[in-house]
Structure 1
Amino acid sequence: MDEEYDVIVLGTGLKECILSGLLSVDGLKVLHMDRNDYYGGASSSLNLTQLWKRFRGNDKPPENLGSSREYNVDMIPKFMMANGTLVRVLIHTDVTKYLHFKAVDGSFVYNKGKIDKVPATDVEALKSQLMGLFEKRRARKFFIFVQDYEENDPKSHEGLDLEKVTARELITKYGLEDDTIDIIGHALALHINDNYLDQPAKDFVKRMKLYAESLARFQGGSPYIYPLYGLGELPQAFARLSAVYGGTYMLNKPECKVEFDDNGKAFGVTSEGETAKCKKVVCDPSYLPDKVQKVGKVARAVCIMSHPIPDTKDSHSVQVILPQKQLGRKSDMYLFCCSYAHNVAPKGKYIAFVLTEAETDKPEEELKPAVDLLGPVDEIFYETCDRFVPTNKHEEDNCFISTSYDATTHFESTVEDVIQMYSKITGKVLDLSVDLSAASAAAE
């Protein structure tokens, strides 16, 4: 502990573990500490006994649910876009060698009280049950424009400058109906509300292209992949990477108090009477609560079931997006399921999650529209978690604090935060121009 480090990282959540891995690869001397005796922090995966202890206050789950150690229940459940930024980071760092992935079976959207497959290409638009005949043709033309659009090829722009044209104006050009816009904006472009409609259309089109490219990567029923044994494997994989490049890990370190000099700059971390010195501190919001502010909260339900989600073609793993307008809400609701096929539960068992940006203090009532789609559940647990963002100026205090995880069921916003933090810490841009064909080799 009496050594000096370039960076001390506090908390072994996914964001912190990715950063410690990236910084170690860059040759920085990294010490990584956690007050818990396990990896993952808020983004850990729990066995059945741990799940019971967390939600029910005892460690005696019913025997009919099967072996505790066969469960790996994510506390921050998310899928990975097969062509997305997290996959690029995994390949860039060669962390894929520590993990095995499986394609997610299905991607669905809730529309007018029913669950239907998300149409993502011009071919799927023509087959979709979500649109009438004329709307299918209009949607097909729009999908062809998106598929053909190349930023550096003006011929593919159809005379539109997507830096200036808003998403609303682009959609209007194709005459799409409100329900179709809802599906495209929320289930394909994965926007969490309708603010995107009045912003430049470039990001909207890029998000749609990412979805379509991810869908094409594994020729499956969705654009998502998911690691075997749950997301708790991800922080541990990046921790291994950091250790390979000289990073030092200390779990079960109580308190972990950040020390500041007279100018308010962090210079070290004290735990159990010893202080390790450093130039910079990286941490999650719980380690520096006076330097963050609450910006919202996530309502979550965790369900153990003995069957797949109805109307999802018996999918073992699936995402269902419930757009805000369908529920009369300000933000979308997400339904997410994985099963024994991903080694996260005993044979015959499924784990379903319902998440949303909380708009009330009553998660049971708020999450009911999605929970009702699940059919009978063996067990259900509810919780609400506060979301925080940093308020400090890192150039003044040498502290780099991650934002809390949002309600989305994909990792794009998570990794955006990591990449921005990496640039602030190092002054460099992370180069993620990698060969994505390596991702296919990492997935089963």
Structure 2
Amino acid sequence: MADAPQDYPTIDPTSFDVVLCGTGLPESVLAAACSAAGKTVLHVDPNPFYGSLFSSLPLPSFPSFLSSSSSDSVPSPSSTTPYAAVDLRRRSLYSEVETSGTVPEPSRRFIVDLVGPRVLYCADEAVDLLLRSGGSHHVEFKSVEGGTLLYWDGGLYTVPDSRQAIFKDTSLQLKEKNLLFRFFKLVQAHIAASAAGAEAGEGEASGKLPEEDLDLPFIEFLKKQHLSPKMRAVVLYAIAMADYDQDGADSCERLLTTKEGVKTIALYSSSIGRFANAEGAFIYPMYGHGELPQAFCRCAAVKGALYVLRMPATALLVDEEKKCYAGIRLASGQDILCQQLVLDPSYEIPSLDMTCSTPVSNSSRKVARGICIISSFVKQDLSNVLVVFPPKSLEEEQVTAVRVLQLSSNLAVCPPGMFMAYLSTPCTDTFTGKKCINKAIDVLFTTKASDDLEGHLETTSENSKEGVKPTLLWSCVYVQEITQCQGTSDTALSCPMPDENLDYRSILESTKKVQFLSILYYSCQKVGKKIWLFVEVMEPFGLFLASCQYGMISYHVHIK
């Protein structure tokens, strides 16, 4: 985070419907939704750039951001507002940062994602949200045209993710091809039947998988289809994107059900061919994932949201009589009042003596990440490609999948002739996570023998020959904390942080929950045991009618 300037602007007006601190993707989506609904919005960020924990940074700025993501409490400037002030603290989310090698010049040509490796499915909700909101006008995508490679038996294997790919794969035996094709045909029939049944309003439809199969662990269902271990790894880790070892049911932290696996396969299949100029299922934003929050911020600004960068928040204002947060104090000393506060997850929200909307949870998990600059592609002629290391493929003790995303200069994230590679794996401790990342780096790349980087562009074509590993020029391995839930009050909510997943589905789902909690407090009218909420925000940029049960009270939400 850059040093704050000495002179801060005065913000006018001093009261808003919603104030958001941090311009990460969840906060930016909420800002765009609230602005589109006609709410007055103030969006501040202590950084001189958009994106917060979801930003894309020039490489020279990356190490300082990791080390300065936390700060001690800044004393709150004096103010005449009749509210008590509770100092805000920001906590460190990054640890165990290790770098090696020398960054090639010009170093600012390398753009680093804080959330990598990450892609968007062509048919996922994040893309639909961009299209509905108009955010797609502010960001450009390119296809991850290389598809997915699976590391198996010491080699990289192209994932057969379609009928054509299955029958073109010369490494598969005829029996394997038939079994895999039969499995995909069975799943596609279930997907089609489910879609037809949903449209017709029918409970059951011909072709759907039995409920007992859908409730099975996905690994057991695949075994019932007589798929080989290699084909099970393809489906589980390269298409269904399971994170944990599914063979160890007793020790598996997250066992995938058939229903969940089929749902991801349906998303994967519907993504292939959705856009005529996109090969495969995945797309990636030009200039990095930091462009996504910027796109939603632009949508919010067009609708009247006020943006102030380089503006730290130092304290929360407390209405002691109502036992709720009434606003925020900025580093300038100015107090801003609001109906609803939304903070990025690096802020620690002080607890008040009141009933919380969400329980306090100390449970946290971690994700080990790696960023590499390499001299050539990991497999010949594949510029942008995803590589998956299934559990136990690197060592017997490996219990999580490792994902690697290689990106080329056609995405404007590095100079021509070089490549960026992002790695990640979920972990419970830093040692195990970093060990898996480093093993994957050792498998894919070779360490440069000399510190002299001159001439690496001339040797790119030679090093790119099949069977020759790319040269590792620079790397950074670190661990990011993922806190699942913070204690929040009705008027101060915390957004989700970047997680270990390959896409944004979980983050957007958590953002919806944050938005729903905000709506429950912000605009409701009690009628007996029912609460009717006529709100304009919950489903951004669309009409939505939802009913949900919360304890013994029924909530009916109508979105205009």
Q: Is 2:109 aligned against 1:70?
A: yes
Offset, 1:165: 5.0
TM-score, normalisation: structure 1 = 0.87
Corresponding residue for residue 279 of structure 1:
339
Q: Which of 75, 82, 85 is 2:125 aligned to?
A: 85
The verdict on how the C-alpha distance between 1:201 and 1:64 changes in structure 2, with shifts beyond 3 A counting, is closer
Corresponding residue for residue 437 of structure 1:
none
Corresponding residue for residue 324 of structure 1:
391
8 Å CA contact 2:490–2:518 kept in 1: the answer is no
Offset, 1:203: 2.5
Aligned to 1:23, the other structure's residue is in SS state: helix
The verdict on how the C-alpha distance between 1:10 and 1:433 changes in structure 2, with shifts beyond 3 A counting, is closer
Corresponding residue for residue 328 of structure 2:
269
Offset, 1:133: 2.7
Q: Is 2:201 aligned against 1:145?
A: no
Aligned to 1:87, the other structure's residue is in SS state: helix
Q: Which of 295, 302, 308 is 1:237 aligned to?
A: 295
Aligned to 1:213, the other structure's residue is in SS state: helix
Corresponding residue for residue 201 of structure 2:
none
8 Å CA contact 1:285–1:390 kept in 2: the answer is no
8 Å CA contact 1:66–1:346 kept in 2: the answer is no
Percent identity at matched positions? 26
Q: Which of 217, 221, 225 is 2:283 aligned to?
A: 225
What amino acid maps onto 1:430 in structure 2? Answer: E
8 Å CA contact 1:334–1:408 kept in 2: the answer is no
Query: RMSD value over aligned CA atoms?
Result: 2.9
CA displacement 1:398-427 (0-9 Å, x = unmatched): 222122212233222222222332333336
Offset, 1:197: 8.8
CA distance in 2 between counterparts of 1:84 and 1:25 reads 22
Offset, 1:326: 2.2
Corresponding residue for residue 221 of structure 2:
170
What amino acid maps onto 1:170 in structure 2? Answer: F
Offset, 1:54: 4.9
| Worse-superposed segment, 188-197 or 382-391 | 188-197
CA displacement 1:272-315 (0-9 Å, x = unmatched): 22111111111222112556635122211111122112x3x322
CA displacement 1:217-244 (0-9 Å, x = unmatched): 2465531111111112111111111100
8 Å CA contact 2:490–2:517 kept in 1: the answer is no
Aligned to 1:326, the other structure's residue is in SS state: coil
The verdict on how the C-alpha distance between 1:18 and 1:197 changes in structure 2, with shifts beyond 3 A counting, is closer
Aligned to 2:481, the other structure's residue is in SS state: strand
Equivalent positions of 1:7-22 (< 5 A) are 7-22=18-33
Number of equivalences: 427
8 Å CA contact 2:55–2:289 kept in 1: the answer is yes
8 Å CA contact 2:437–2:477 kept in 1: the answer is no
CA distance in 2 between counterparts of 1:410 and 1:239 reads 20
Q: Is 2:414 aligned against 1:305?
A: no
What amino acid maps onto 2:238 in structure 1? Answer: A
CA distance in 1 between counterparts of 2:389 and 2:101 reads 32
CA distance in 1 between counterparts of 2:315 and 2:264 reads 40
Q: Which of 105, 126, 129 is 2:145 aligned to?
A: 105
| Worse-superposed segment, 103-112 or 414-423 | 414-423
What amino acid maps onto 2:441 in structure 1? Answer: V
| Worse-superposed segment, 151-160 or 179-188 | 151-160
Corresponding residue for residue 403 of structure 2:
334
The verdict on how the C-alpha distance between 1:429 and 1:175 changes in structure 2, with shifts beyond 3 A counting, is farther
Q: Which of 352, 360, 367 is 2:437 aligned to?
A: 367
8 Å CA contact 1:265–1:397 kept in 2: the answer is yes
CA displacement 1:134-158 (0-9 Å, x = unmatched): 1221111010112222214411215
8 Å CA contact 1:122–1:139 kept in 2: the answer is no
CA distance in 2 between counterparts of 1:306 and 1:321 reads 20
Q: Is 2:539 aligned against 1:430?
A: yes
The verdict on how the C-alpha distance between 1:63 and 1:199 changes in structure 2, with shifts beyond 3 A counting, is closer
| Worse-superposed segment, 367-376 or 237-246 | 367-376
Corresponding residue for residue 441 of structure 1:
none
CA distance in 1 between counterparts of 2:410 and 2:46 reads 33
Q: Is 2:46 aligned against 1:42?
A: no
Q: Is 2:233 aligned against 1:182?
A: yes
The structure with the larger Rg is 2
What amino acid maps onto 2:409 in structure 1? Answer: Y
The verdict on how the C-alpha distance between 1:79 and 1:139 changes in structure 2, with shifts beyond 3 A counting, is same
TM-score, normalisation: structure 2 = 0.70
CA displacement 1:371-398 (0-9 Å, x = unmatched): 12133111111221211122325xx432
CA displacement 1:344-393 (0-9 Å, x = unmatched): 11111211111111344346533122212133111111221211122325
Gaps spanning 5+ residues in structure 1: where?
435-444
Q: Is 2:469 aligned against 1:399?
A: no
Q: Is 2:382 aligned against 1:315?
A: yes
The verdict on how the C-alpha distance between 1:131 and 1:258 changes in structure 2, with shifts beyond 3 A counting, is farther
8 Å CA contact 1:123–1:140 kept in 2: the answer is no
8 Å CA contact 2:103–2:474 kept in 1: the answer is no
